[in-house]
Structure 1
């Protein structure tokens, strides 16, 4: 390419001479009758942006020649899968990619990434019963103002069936996450170490456009001479940045000198929100590197190291950040802590002591962005340009486009971040979230105060989930690249 102009704020724009690369020409065979507009958008967007573009043979720049014969071959390739979703999964994704996805309607996808989805408000984990294919669920928490908040169900409750059918590894997806808007949970008790069905039933109904405030709990404790702040934060949603700022300000006003971030059920979200939270916790020196971006090989070489760096910030919207200035942070994690949650830990590690308490995290260190059929805007979804999206193609893809490294260049945690203090949740003793004796919170408090007392942290029924409601949520394992910075290169 002779010239690339990048301006990364909400969008990236590139221009290139028409006679060069396949991705910049009208390459669909004009004489063909194949309906491949969506597949054409997917291929071109993935060829340019996909992190593993060099590892996918069918995405190679030289895969199709820019000739009449090449265009015919390209069209035939696009037409090899009638369903665009199957085309995306079978032809364009790298074999080790666990996280790229798509949606046939960009509005559904972008709403979901704003924390708006169809849900009954019950957040739960699923565990396989040892020695069988049966599965039981345990309630993690209830989203306020949801349908689940109106019925008699609470954290720690167990269920073994849906609509009278016993949950198994083969049917739980369809029963719990299918098209049925209403279902009945068949509840259970924990008796002598076993999950035993009872006669209780709970009817739940999904509601449209349920928005979850990710700041589930924010409070402070004075214990053993220490003033401790606690925030249970359940997803990095940039629509709630002001609320996050306010929560930290309230804790600062309370005089906290320690902070526990509870990210045990946080599957990820906005990179920029992660940067804001890190700045609120640590420092607002805009010369300090928060992360370094690594794109695919052909994009990476276009930039200097400095152009790929993202720095701590001193602003939230129009408000100036006055950081807590902590030298130590306590973070609660489970295997459900992913992506942006892991980014917060990894990006703060070079600067402060991050004490991780709980279980090994998910292991997701790549970031993604939303791509739509807006070819004059490098396929990037930009809210102000929705009228520029091809009206005949409403599909959106959310591919992994890069990997984030911390200031020390570390990003190798695909197997998850190991806790400093290992402590799994116990479905026989979940405790009440935000209460001082809830096991994970109590262990963090003990670490801060040094008061060991007689508390026994033995886990008799360790939770090893096979799935959860979060894994079917819009934010599952997502790290959305929405940082605001400028890159210019010619």
Structure 2
């Protein structure tokens, strides 16, 4: 075989984990990296290596075939054929949305970044942000865009300003927002901008004279355990938990929240994932265990990889079970529920959907809201660290090629639940459909907030006592979370890798 092609085989020492204690199966990539000559193809080389070995649709992309190149020169010429690494990456993907559009896309979620450090910090809940989390929608002639505030991150710049959930803005720095300019105005290079505020009267959006100036600051840490509350209604104790990202650094705080809910003696739980775009799979396993139970013999999910990898795994190595401890062996607090009420919307994705789908074979998952995103694939972060199989490991920062800061986050597989179901690319659909109402977003955690109120009415049986009509339903274009490095990613852990064996 050409020395530039990757041979993937098992029985050695690179462990591919599905986030359980018993699913470590070794993977070794055998390949001697080429030495770039006249043209710098360092980034392209590392991208091809990783995609050939791990990409979920590797068998469906001719340029990723193991026998694609007949000799070294063919391989190098191919890497040199596209000088832009970003374009090169999307060309390796299977009908990527960036190349073919949403209607024809197979791969909707693989992505790259030129700065792996920014990406990995985001996975830890650290970002450069002003703390304003918002949705964007269309109005008027269909090209006009307005934003609505979803929540404010505590201890952020926005937390010090006169702006709150439910507020509307229609422009930035005096320029009305539209389809063509909203990305540059809100997510461009300017760290400071002024929002031109507006209001909704009946179904009409109007401008106002109010302005709010915000500044993005480095190192903002967002605790995804946003709100934990015990609500008492007619003698019933209902737990409410708003959780906004699956972030491993806050698994202990999540467990503490369940400590509080259990100590309060709640009998029902409302889990608010309406703005949660996903994150770490193992955190999803932990949350599921906190809800249902620490049944380490019961499968929560089964991973399915590309054809080349899947046949090499034993079935038990593909399975992640409910957990009984955190990563540091702290015992998990579980509520042992047989029903959970989940608030979920189109902004609910990946690891959030995994929790809903994973729990479904075991307990009654009552979905209130709208259809979710439909992201059923997981990914892993790859960087230019050949001796570690190009898998990112925070303990190997000094081993990453200092001349290549790029990272890729390709889709590696899908997670099925215990019943083998993973086909929800169009989203998980609600049992009780209820869109957020822009004319009445309500206060998060309040018994009058419409989605929570609906859950409470179902729990208490008082379904006929409240009007749940929606006057101005959210028609989401996108949200602020989709312009962070993490976006709606669901990522797996790779553990215990060692340098690869070379021929």
What TM-score do you get using the length of structure 1 for normalisation? 0.93
Of the three residues 447, 468, 476, the one matched with 1:465 is 476
How far does the alpha carbon of each residue in 1:382-429 deviate from its partner, in whole angstroms, 9 at most, with x for none?
A: 111222212222211111111100000000000000000000001001
Alignment counterpart, residue 25 of structure 1, candidates 1, 14, 32: 32
* 2:43 aligned residue: 38
| 2:15 counterpart (7, 20, 24) | 7
Is residue 2:435 matched to residue 1:432? no
Instruction: Give the Cα–Cα distance (whole angstroms) in 2 for the partners of residues 166 and 234 of structure 1.
Output: 29
Point out the more displaced range, 287-296 or 314-323. 314-323
Contact 1:12 1:378 in 2 (8 A): no
> In the alignment, does 2:235 pair up with 1:225?
yes
Q: Which residue of 2 aligns with 1:328?
A: 339
Provide the rounded CA distance (Å) in 1 between the counterparts of 2:452 and 2:33.
58
Which residue number in structure 1 is paired with residue 154 of structure 2? 144
| Match in the other structure for 1:21 | none
* Aligned counterparts of 2:494 and 2:321: Cα–Cα separation in 1: 10
Displaced runs of 4+ in structure 1, greater than 6 A? 483-486
Is contact 2:370–2:433 with CA below 8 Å preserved after alignment? yes
Q: 1:110 — aligned with what?
A: 120
Distance 1:14 1:219 in 2: 44
CA contact (8 A) 1:162 1:183 kept: yes
SS in 2 for 1:346: helix
Correspondence for 1:305 among 302, 311, 315? 315
Distance 1:484 1:425, change over 3 A: farther
State the 1:330 CA deviation. Answer: 0.3
* 2:63 alignment counterpart: 58
Give the superposition deviation at 1:64. Answer: 0.6
Cα deviation for residue 276 of structure 1 reads: 0.4
Q: In the alignment, which of 368, 380, 383 is matched to residue 372 of structure 1? A: 383
- Measure, in 2, the Cα distance between the counterparts of 1:432 and 1:133: 29
Q: How many residues align?
A: 474
**Using the alignment, how far apart are the partners of 1:264 and 1:431 within structure 2?**
14
Cα deviation for residue 454 of structure 1 reads 2.8
- Residue pairs, 1:468-487, within 5 angstroms: 468-482=479-493
Matched, 1:420 2:431: yes
Distance between the aligned counterparts of 1:137 and 1:395, measured in 2?
32
Q: Distance in 1 between matches of 2:311 and 2:280?
A: 25
Contact 1:12 1:377 in 2 (8 A): no
Q: 1:217 Cα shift?
A: 0.6
Matching of residue 340 in structure 1 with residue 345 in structure 2: no
Q: CA deviation at 1:122?
A: 0.5
- For residues 112 and 293 of structure 1, do their structure 2 counterparts lie closer, same or farther at Cα, with a shift above 3 Å needed? same
Deviations 1:345-370 (A, max 9, x none): 00000100000000100000000011
Q: Deviations over 1:4-58 (max 9, x none)?
A: 4342469986446x6xxxxx13445x7x412101110000111001011111111
1:46-101 CA-to-partner distances (Å, cap 9, x unmatched) read: 10010111111111111112xxxx21121111111212122112344543211111
Please give the alpha-carbon distance, in whole angstroms, between the structure 1 residues aligned to 2:339 and 2:236: 14
Which residue in 1 is equivalent to 2:135? 125
Distance in 2, Cα, partners of 1:99 & 1:341: 15
Return the alpha-carbon distance in structure 1 between the equivalents of residues 364 and 47 of structure 2: 42
Distance across 2 between alignment mates of 1:355 and 1:374: 44
Distance 1:322 1:185, change over 3 A: closer
- Asked if 1:235 corresponds to 2:245, the answer is yes
**Structure 2 counterpart SS, 1:58:** helix
2:363 matches 1:352: yes
Corresponding residue for 2:99? none
CA distance in 2, matches of 1:77, 1:291: 38
Moved more, 420-429 or 216-225: 216-225
Moved more, 446-455 or 141-150: 446-455
SS, match of residue 66 in structure 2:
coil
- CA, structure 1 residues 483+451, in 2 after alignment: closer, same or farther (shift >3 Å)? farther
Structure 2 unaligned regions, length at least 5: 1-6, 97-105, 498-503
Match of 1:86 in 2: 87
Secondary structure class of the residue paired with 2:476: coil
Q: Are the equivalent residues in 2 in contact too, given 1:424–1:462 (CA < 8 A)?
A: yes
